[in-house]
């Protein structure tokens, strides 16, 4: 479990596997509806011009998340 990092620290261009969501309530549900459940592979695609938000590839869709939300998703580096 030592490889666990928040998604916003995932370097651009690399993959991570979702291990844990620390968000709760509506936000948590919304993340899960986007397919962010355990074992989901997420790729950090690119930063927006101002550095935040970051676009991620999640189950074939491209979703932009702000760093606040991304920090609530813990991913494991391969």
Output 9 or 57, the one with its CB closest to another protein. 57
Shortest gap between Cβ of 32 and another protein (angstroms)? Answer: 4
DSSP string, 7-76: GGGSPTT-EEEEEEE---HHHHHHHHHTT--TT-EEEEEEE-TTS-SEEEEETTEEEEE-HHHHTTEEEE
- Is 27 an interacting residue with respect to another protein (CB under 8 A)? yes
- Is 42 an interacting residue with respect to another protein (CB under 8 A)? no
Q: Which residues bind another protein (CB under 8 A)?
A: 21, 26-35, 37-38, 40, 45-53, 55, 57-66, 68-69
């Amino acid at each position: 479990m030592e490889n666990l990092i928040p998604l916003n620290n995932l370097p651009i261009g690399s993959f991570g596997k979702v291990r844990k969501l620390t968000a709760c309530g509506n936000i948590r549900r919304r993340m899960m509806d986007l397919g962010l459940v355990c074992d989901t592979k997420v790729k950090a695609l690119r930063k927006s011009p101002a550095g935040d938000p970051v676009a991620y590839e999640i189950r074939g869709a491209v979703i932009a998340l702000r760093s606040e939300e991304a920090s609530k998703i813990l991913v494991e580096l391969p």
